[in-house]
């Protein structure tokens, strides 16, 4: 099986969104909205495969699980709450406790995890920063989560409530890509990775040529129209 992680980490999240938007007609471009980046490298992209974790209310009948000690290397840890605990508008979650902290990042990093996305709050922001391990979340908190919520399942689809009551579903093993712009997800079940990668490579080359034209004083719109012609044949 071919693994696209190393090449994906040479792209920007915007390049990936361009591919999903233009090649697959995905209006969201795979962007997971409202996430803040708190830590991680400032000058490169990180990519991993979604290792999904669902948190539910503390009195949920399902027993609490330990997920942090069994993350496969190359994963991007993605943590979400059940839909009733989410909100459409800021702060996007009903839970004011932090689902994730610095010790968890240390353990994830030790296992070769590429980064962590928490669709909720995290804490220990200074410790996160010092680890240089990529962490994204909606916001921050100070209190641990044990009296409010608990992890109940791994590697199941996670539903994320976004504006206008839309729900995005993140599936286990979707590609997750992060940089300073935010987080993008490639829905692996509905995308041919080989075709998408080909499109993105070409589209980056086109943007490079347009930038060159602009540096030479050419008008932007005309340059884009001309340079993007070559992308049309990849849309078939």
Ligand X SMILES: O=C([O-])CC(=O)C(=O)O
Annotated binding site for Mg(2+): 124
145 is a site residue for ligand X (CB under 6 A) = yes
Q: Check: CB of residue 161 under 8 Å from CB of residue 173.
A: no
Q: Nearest approach, Cβ of 175 to ligand X (angstroms)?
A: 26
196 binds, among ligand X, Ni ion, none (CB under 5 to 8 A by kind): none
Measure the CA–CA gap between 150 and 44, rounded to whole angstroms.
33
235 is a site residue for ligand X (CB under 6 A) = no
Looking at the Cβ atoms of 146 and 218, the one nearer to ligand X is 146
- Residue whose C-alpha is closest to residue 151's, from 87, 90, 79, 94: 79
103 is a site residue for ligand X (CB under 6 A) = yes
Measure the CA–CA gap between 23 and 235, rounded to whole angstroms.
6
- Residue whose C-alpha is closest to residue 125's, from 182, 33, 40: 40
38 is a site residue for ligand X (CB under 6 A) = no
124 is a site residue for ligand X (CB under 6 A) = yes
Measure the CA–CA gap between 62 and 40, rounded to whole angstroms.
33
Query: Pick from 19, 30, 48, 102: which binds ligand X (CB under 6 A)?
Result: 102
**E strands along the chain, which residues?**
31-32, 36-39, 46-57, 75-81, 98-100, 115-122, 135-140, 149-154, 158-162, 166-170, 175-179, 182-186
Q: Nearest approach, Cβ of 96 to ligand X (angstroms)?
A: 13
Looking at the Cβ atoms of 145 and 203, the one nearer to ligand X is 145
- Contacts of residue 110, Cβ cutoff 8 Å, sequence gap at least 6: none
144 is a site residue for ligand X (CB under 6 A) = yes
Q: Nearest approach, Cβ of 85 to Ni ion (angstroms)?
A: 21
Q: Annotated binding site: which residue ranges?
A: 101-104, 123-124
The contact set with Ni ion (CB under 5 A) reads 101-102, 124
Query: Pick from 30, 40, 101, 134: which binds ligand X (CB under 6 A)?
Result: 101
Strands 36-39 and 46-57: what pairing? unpaired
86 is a site residue for ligand X (CB under 6 A) = no
């Amino acid at each position: 099986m071919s693994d696209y992680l190393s090449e994906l980490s040479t792209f920007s999240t915007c390049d990936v969104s361009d591919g999903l938007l233009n090649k697959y007609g995905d209006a969201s471009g795979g962007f997971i909205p409202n996430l803040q980046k708190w830590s991680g490298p400032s000058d490169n992209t990180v990519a991993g495969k979604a290792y999904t974790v669902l948190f539910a209310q503390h009195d949920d009948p399902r027993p609490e699980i330990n997920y942090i000690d069994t993350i496969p290397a190359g994963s991007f840890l993605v943590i979400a709450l059940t839909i009733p605990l989410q909100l459409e508008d800021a702060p996007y979650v009903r839970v004011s406790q932090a689902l994730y902290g610095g010790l968890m990042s240390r353990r994830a990093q030790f296992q070769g995890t590429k980064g962590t996305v928490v669709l909720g709050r995290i804490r220990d922001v200074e410790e996160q920063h010092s680890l240089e391990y990529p962490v994204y979340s909606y916001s921050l908190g100070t209190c641990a989560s044990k009296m409010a919520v608990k992890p109940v399942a791994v590697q199941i689809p996670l539903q994320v409530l976004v504006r206008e009551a839309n729900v995005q579903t993140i599936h286990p093993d979707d590609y997750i890509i992060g940089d300073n712009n935010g987080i993008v997800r490639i829905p692996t079940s509905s995308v041919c990775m080989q075709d998408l990668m080909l499109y993105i490579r070409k589209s980056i080359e086109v943007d490079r040529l347009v930038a060159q034209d602009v540096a030479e004083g050419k008008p932007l719109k005309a340059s884009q129209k001309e340079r993007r012609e070559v992308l049309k044949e990849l849309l078939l």
